Structure 1
Amino acid sequence: MDLLPGDRRSRCRDIMHPIALWVKDDGELSILHRCEKCGTVKSNRILPDDSEPLISELAARPALAVGLA
């Protein structure tokens, strides 16, 4: 369940923040989210109603900057 439309929650039920884009083996782009409380990272498919400016911002972030490389 989302706290606010579009946010994501983890098992610990805290807020998930978008941190980076991930290209799956099949070429599909996903948004990686990290839990604010426990640090869990999960991916979610990019959907037509996702924010294009946010997706562009995430694409510009190096993986190292968010601790993924």
Structure 2
Amino acid sequence: MPTPEPETIEVTRTRIACDGGAGALGHPRVWLQIDPEVGSVECGYCDRKYVLKEGADHGADH
């Protein structure tokens, strides 16, 4: 049985938080930084891929 592809989420900021999105079944919240030249980052816990939307603000969200 093939493993399902990790979820891909489009975002508008280069600094985002991931907690697995499953409430108590998720993982500890981690902050991820997208390099605008790369355009994406993957969570080390759940393998979600965060992709920077075209034309998105490249400033960090504090």
TM-score for both structures, normalised by structure 1: 0.31
| Structure with the bigger percentage of helix | 1
Instruction: Work out which structure has the larger RCO, using CA pairs closer than 8 Å and 6 or more positions apart in sequence.
Output: 2
